[in-house]
Structure 1
Amino acid sequence: MSLAKQNFANQSEEALNQQVNTELQASQVYLSMSAWAQHTSVALPGLEKYFREAAHEEREHAQKLIDYINTRGGRVVLRALQAPETDWKSAKNAVESALQLEKDVNKSLLNLHKIADSNGDPQMCDFIEAEYLGEQVEAIKKLADMVTQLNRVGEGLGVYLWDQQLYRDGTGAGSRATGNVKHDSLFEDEIVECPALLATLSEDARISYEQAKVFQQRYPPDSIPTDITMSQYVSIQEKGISAFEFELDTDSLSFVSARTEIQFFSGEGCLQTNLPLPRNQEVYYWEAKMFEKPVTTTVSVGVATKPYPSWRLPGWNKHSIGYFSDTGNKHFSNPFIGRPYSYGYEEGDVIGVGYRHRTGTIFFTRNGRKLDEACFGLRYNLFPTIGANGPCQIHVNLGQMGFVFVEANVKRWGLAPAQGTLAPPPAYGFEAGSFLLQRGGEMSSLEGVITPSSSRYDEEEDDDDDNTPLIQQRSNHYAAIPIPSQQHQQEGTPAPPSYSTFPRPSFFMDQAEYERNRRAGLI
């Protein structure tokens, strides 16, 4: 018996296991519906996407129940699943079957709640109410509306147009609860182009889209090596987070200073880091602060693969996602339609991006508050990417300082350690008993020295010992500065001027000056 088990009746445990299998069975049915809608004889991409996301959601529901059983100290018992239907006849029949399936799942949840209540388990009742019941009722309402719409449009062209609208609206598992802001696919899909979508773009935007599409056909994500090489890995070990920096693109009107301070001037463009997000730990995270951003400038913060068209914002092309400042929408490989995600952001706001590489999941934060998962299934090497369509200045924190999102600090989600293993340069000042820098400073103060110009004097200087060390060893007395000999002075060599640092002859000195020069080693 588990030590964690408390007030958890065997009847409740058995009912939870039954609900796990009910959710898994529903996932199997939805997966069958998705495969049917994707078949070439059906070709309904909107329904295919809806059913696929519903299958994913039912699996998540089952996993959540499994976690709860283990948390309460129970034991998970999985049962064999029944093979679902493979031919759903028509879109209307498939949606009606999905509606009945949701009603059956809801009935099972209500029975589960009744069992928990009869066994005096308020914790289990609260769990079912908070995580399942409200969402289930809204999902039933959504499917009922879809049945009504299909009855209205009829078969043939009507179903095709209805399915296209379903696809563009992004109605999927994330939006089955009608009040939720998640209205789009969490998985990457091919863009279904149609004249209506292209008509939403201006002439310049359409040309930019067509050029970017050709660019990515010519240079797909795996066309250049983007894995972190051994030399780059060593650089990360030695330099830490300083190994990462945003690369300047000469084709875009932008500028990068101090590795992570980005400035855009005009036009649409984006910048990416030199290295991809690593895959050594579970989550990686970084933040971008809108240091200067006029309200007329739209900024997109996200990730993208390489090569990526530098004249496009992240989220507008395949294998990229971006969170846009003007609308608060997210664009997931789609330039046509942005999906409601959160609030927009402006100057002073901090937008964070998190990446779970095992599932290819991207999530965003806004001013330290975590938002919902934005997408799943991004598998290529991803690069932090920031784009804008006008003047702005953005400061990026890849981990060189503390994050606004506290959890990222606690769990050390930065891209690399703040400090690497590379030793710092030696400290300035006295080093190993030498005082080269100090003597250099003293020599530079000899501003008024008059250098004799006679050739005889030059020849005599050449006779100096070349083996004299440049760095004099520290002793009780400083090394004396060479003084022109009495012979030079007798031949007319001018004596040092009064403002020179050279000492005057002793017979010109008073007692105090003489003692001062003697102590300094100049006499």
Structure 2
Amino acid sequence: MIMPDKTQNTPRERPPGYQTCSLPRDTVANESEPPCYHNGAEFMRDADLPLPPPEMGYLSSSSGNAPSDDAERAHIFCEVPLYLPTKPSGVVYSSAQVHDLHPVWSRDFQGDLKAISRGRWKGSTRDRSGDCLVSTNYPVYFSVEDSPFATKNSRTIYFEIKLLGLRAEPGAGATDSSGFSIGFIAQPYPYWRSPGWEREGIGVFSDDGCRFVNDSWGGKKFTEAFGIGETVGLGITFRLPLSLPTTLENRNNKCEADIFFTRAGDIIGAWDLHEEVDEDSGSLEGLEGDFDLYGAIGLFGGVDFEVCFDRVGWLWQPP
């Protein structure tokens, strides 16, 4: 992928957001001001979306590139502060707990995608589609409700994707590559970028097996490319730090985070978020259990896939 320039940007006006409303960073979060979750039945309004990426740009395996304009636009977009976590309503929280999650995407998505049952989606993207992202309409992790600081227990989030087909094999060239990434994001996140490429994101990619954590600079080799017909999963377990802060002034509610990756239901790789920070990735803001997190899928090229958030359908089963 092409990397944005690290030079300091001139301050600009707030870029257009992907959501129809937002919660400013300095707003006091409470139940009377919940975030504007998507209901899964509405597309995002064009007026709320950034301009679509150039048609010429695609991500490819190992040596492929995404358009530099996309990277720079995302870099500017991420100057917007993260939305503060808020206490969800009982209905919203209950829906998320029973995996009643629906896909949300922007006009950058080119293809078909639908929920085939509760917590299960099936979709495909058109050949030569540019980079785009699909997320859950509700968080899969609500910081106010799920944080180990609130519950005194660890919390694991996880989902799986099955790769049904690729209409252009990875490695065939920058304009022919197809694949996906599985990950998590905090909001707002640029919907023309895969999870893990920008701040508050993590993702593992099908075409080369690399993992990205808040990293626009190349990622790290992690596993092998995914095969057609294969099911992979990604999870994060949040837990209390071994040494808890002794005063309120020192308490930052940042959890320890163990990330794990599965293939065919078996854990084949894992890492500690804080011990293996990607080089040049900068802050881990958004991934330490103190913000809401959404399940996310990055897509490029022609891909057929199924997604499962319902633990009944997982190949991996929690111990």
Return the TM-score normalized by structure 1. 0.36
Amino acid at match of 1:399: D
Contact 2:105 2:191 (C-alpha < 8 Å) held by counterparts:
no
- Residue 390 of structure 1 corresponds to 301
Note the C-alpha offset of 1:232. Answer: 0.4
Structure with greater strand percent: 2
Q: How far did residue 210 of structure 1 move?
A: 0.8
The answer to whether structure 1 residue 373 and structure 2 residue 270 are counterparts is: yes
**1:256-275 matches, cutoff 5 A:** 256-258=113-115, 260-265=121-126, 266-275=129-138
SS at match of 2:207: coil
Correspondent of 2:75 among 198, 204, 213: 213
Relative contact order, higher structure (CA 8 A, sep 6+): 2
Query: Are 2:200 and 1:319 aligned?
Result: yes
1:362 paired with 2:273, answer: no
Does the C-alpha gap of structure 1 residues 297 and 282 become closer, same or farther in structure 2, counting only changes over 3 Å? same
Q: In the alignment, is the contact (CA less than 8 A) between 2:108 and 2:131 conserved in 1?
A: no
What pairs with 1:270-281 in structure 2 (closer than 5 Å)? 270-278=133-141, 279=146
Aligned to 1:402: 313
Indicate conservation of the 8 Å contact 2:179/2:302, yes or no: no
**Partner SS for 1:401:** helix
> 1:466 is matched with which residue?
none
Cα distance change of structure 1 residues 366 and 400 upon mapping to structure 2, 3 Å threshold: closer
Query: What are the equivalent positions in structure 2 for 1:281-292 lying under 5 Å apart?
Result: 282-292=155-165
Please give the residue correspondences for 1:217-236 in structure 2 after superposition, counting only pairs within 5 Å: 217-218=79-80, 220-222=81-83, 228-236=88-96
The whole-number CA distance in structure 2 between the counterparts of 1:371 and 1:227 is 35
Aligned to 1:309: 190
**Pairwise mapping of residues 64-463 of structure 1 onto structure 2 (< 5 A)?**
205-218=67-80, 220-222=81-83, 228-236=88-96, 240-241=98-99, 243-258=100-115, 260-265=121-126, 266-278=129-141, 279=146, 282-294=155-167, 295=169, 296-358=177-239, 359-376=256-273, 378-379=287-288, 380-399=291-310, 401-405=312-316, 407-408=317-318, 411=319
Shift of 1:203: 8.6
Secondary structure, aligned partner of 1:208:
helix
Give unpaired runs (5+ residues) of structure 1. Answer: 1-199, 412-523
Give the partner amino acid of 2:78. Answer: Q
Q: d(CA) in 2 for partners of 1:332 and 1:340?
A: 12
Computing the radius of gyration from Cα coordinates, the structure with the larger value is 1
Maintained 8 Å contact 2:82/2:188: yes
Q: Distance in 2 between matches of 1:360 and 1:226?
A: 21
Superposition RMSD in Å? 2.6
- 1:293, 1:346 within 8 Å by CA — same for their partners in 2? no
Secondary structure at 1:213 match in 2: helix
Distance across 2 between alignment mates of 1:263 and 1:202: 21
Match of 1:137 in 2: none
Structure 2: distance between partners of 1:300 and 1:204? 14
Whose helix proportion is higher, 1 or 2? 1
Q: Alignment length, in residue pairs? A: 204
Question: 1:344 deviation in Å?
Answer: 1.0
Q: TM (normalized to structure 2)?
A: 0.58
